[in-house]
């Protein structure tokens, strides 16, 4: 202990460590009525870090070549010590990341923290959401199994419904007329190089906005002003005098949430490792044999079902594009300063109605 204190003093004399701790940790005050949902961002940071670490470890043995990819993944799973653990952490982690991302999005949506002055927080977050979907889609192809191959065929094919450029766009995405070795090359580059870098940059932007704006006050409880006291004429940092310190109080909540996350995540890894894999995931890709039931991953099931229920694919695609654009631009559409959802009945109906619609479409997609 004494040694740590001395080291801390030594650092402080050189880089002013105590000042930073005072400013960013013990003196960083959060609203008194802050709740658990505000810790999901930290959980996401942990998940992203874990994805990067396990991804780099997989890169040590994975071979991005159509002839060898499946074999290298099988080797990692069956022969390397703890290869199964690394791979499952990466595969399960990607699904968990989407799930936690959706929860984080729903909570900021419900508490209406996307409103002025936090539009940029919402926009960068929304971009992160689409990029995480993109990194999952490109990563799905890499094992080069029947499942990856045909899921990618179906997913890329939906772009063909776009008028005029559609068919060319599909070919461009795939790098060839059909999914093949050229597709693996570009998806690999996107998955391990391009998208992670952009995600890391956007996380930086997301946190920067948060830092400059200050954390929002949850719109519930008594001592709270629910309307946003933001004045559109001047930049103002939303501070919380008399609030609770981030360290140790909220850091403990962050740690608790991370602990709960790990309990769920590791339960899947250890006790339900095949949750995500259908039998087609264990058969190498065969370009001449389409398996019977090709379904996308759970978080794309609603999109998949939407495409199926509309008589024309173009219509189905347009509806989804419209819904995504609406969500992305929500802070500019919903402009009332009232942030308490219980004082916005129409919002409440849309929120729960929209969520149930998404769940319903996903379940329908699963069983259709």
Partner 1 sequence: MENNGRRKFLGVCLAGASAAAAAAAVYPVFRYLAPRSDQQGSNKVEFAESDLPAGEAKFFEYAGSSAVLVKTSAGAVVALSAVCTHLGCIVQWEKDKQDFLCPCHAGRYTPDGTVVSGPPPRPLAKIPVSVANGKITVG
The residue within the footprint of partner 1, chosen from 86, 170, 173, 192 (CB under 8 A), is: 86
CB of 78 to ligand HEM, least distance (A): 32
CB of 82 to partner 1, least distance (A): 4
Q: Which positions from 16 through 75 interact with ligand HEM, judged by CB under 6 A?
A: 38, 40-42, 44-45, 48
Is-contact 48 199, C-beta < 8 A?
yes
The residue within the footprint of partner 1, chosen from 85, 154, 169, 268 (CB under 8 A), is: 85
Is-contact 41 128, C-beta < 8 A?
no
CB of 60 to partner 1, least distance (A): 7
Residue with tokens 């870098």, as numbered in its chain: 197
Q: What angle do CA 272, 191, 76 make, to 5 degrees?
A: 45
The residue within the footprint of ligand HEM, chosen from 105, 184, 307, 317 (CB under 6 A), is: 105
CB of 15 to ligand HEM, least distance (A): 24
Residue 246 binds ligand HEM, judged by CB under 6 A: no
Stretch that binds partner 1, among 79-87, 122-130, 321-329, 344-352 (CB under 8 A): 79-87
Q: Which positions from 28 through 67 interact with partner 1, judged by CB under 8 A?
A: 57, 60
27 or 248: whose CB is closer to partner 1?
A: 248
**Binding map of ligand HEM across residues 202-221, x = CB under 6 A, - = no contact:** -x--x---x----xx-----
Q: Which does 29 bind (CB under 5 to 8 A by kind): partner 1, ligand HEM, none?
A: none
Residue 250 binds ligand HEM, judged by CB under 6 A: no
Residue 150 binds ligand HEM, judged by CB under 6 A: no
Residue 116 binds ligand HEM, judged by CB under 6 A: no
Q: Which does 133 bind (CB under 5 to 8 A by kind): partner 1, ligand HEM, none?
A: none
Please state the φ and ψ torsions of residue 227, each to the nearest 5 degrees.
-70, 150
Stretch that binds ligand HEM, among 118-126, 140-148, 152-160, 264-272 (CB under 6 A): 118-126
CB of 254 to partner 1, least distance (A): 15
Counting every residue, how long is the chain? 368
Q: Which positions from 168 through 207 interact with ligand HEM, judged by CB under 6 A?
A: 203, 206
CB atoms within 10 A of CB 119: 16
Residue 92 binds partner 1, judged by CB under 8 A: no
Q: Which does 40 bind (CB under 5 to 8 A by kind): partner 1, ligand HEM, none?
A: ligand HEM
CA torsion angle 182 188 194 197 (round to 10): 180
Residue 299 binds ligand HEM, judged by CB under 6 A: no
Residues forming beta bridges with residue 145, ordered by sequence position: 284
Residue 125 binds ligand HEM, judged by CB under 6 A: yes
Residue 93 binds ligand HEM, judged by CB under 6 A: no
């Amino acid at each position: 202990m004494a040694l740590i204190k001395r080291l801390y003093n030594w650092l402080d004399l050189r880089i002013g460590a105590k000042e930073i701790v005072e400013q960013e940790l013990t003196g960083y005050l959060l609203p008194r009525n802050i709740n658990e949902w505000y810790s999901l961002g930290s959980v996401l940071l942990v998940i992203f870090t874990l994805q990067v670490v396990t991804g780099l470890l997989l890169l040590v043995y994975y071979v991005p070549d159509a002839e060898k990819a499946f074999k290298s993944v099988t080797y990692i799973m069956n022969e390397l010590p703890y290869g199964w653990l690394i791979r499952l952490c990466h595969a399960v982690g990607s699904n968990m990341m989407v799930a936690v991302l959706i929860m984080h999005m729903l909570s900021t949506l419900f508490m209406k923290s996307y409103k002025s002055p936090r539009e940029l927080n919402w926009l960068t977050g929304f971009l992160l959401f689409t990029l995480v979907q993109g990194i999952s889609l490109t990563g799905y192809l890499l094992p080069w199994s029947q499942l990856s191959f045909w899921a990618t065929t179906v997913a890329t094919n939906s772009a063909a419904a776009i008028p005029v450029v559609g068919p060319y766009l599909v070919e461009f995405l795939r790098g060839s007329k059909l999914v093949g070795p050229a597709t693996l090359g570009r998806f690999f580059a996107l998955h391990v190089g391009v998208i992670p870098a952009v995600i890391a940059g956007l996380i930086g932007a997301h946190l920067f906005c948060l830092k400059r704006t200050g954390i929002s006050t949850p719109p519930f409880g008594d001592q709270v002003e629910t309307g946003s006291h933001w004045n559109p004429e001047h930049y103002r940092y939303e501070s919380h005098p008399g609030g609770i310190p981030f360290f140790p109080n909220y850091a403990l909540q962050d740690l608790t949430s991370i602990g709960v996350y790990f309990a769920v995540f590791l339960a899947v890894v250890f006790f339900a490792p095949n949750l995500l894999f259908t039998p087609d995931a264990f058969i190498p890709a065969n370009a001449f044999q389409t398996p019977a039931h090709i379904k996308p991953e759970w978080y794309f099931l609603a999109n998949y079902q939407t495409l199926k229920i509309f008589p024309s694919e173009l219509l189905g695609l347009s509806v989804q594009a419209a819904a995504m654009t609406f969500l992305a631009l929500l802070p500019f559409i919903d402009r009332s300063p009232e942030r308490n959802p219980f004082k916005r009945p129409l919002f409440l109906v849309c929120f729960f109605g929209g969520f149930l619609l998404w769940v319903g479409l996903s379940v329908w997609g699963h069983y259709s």
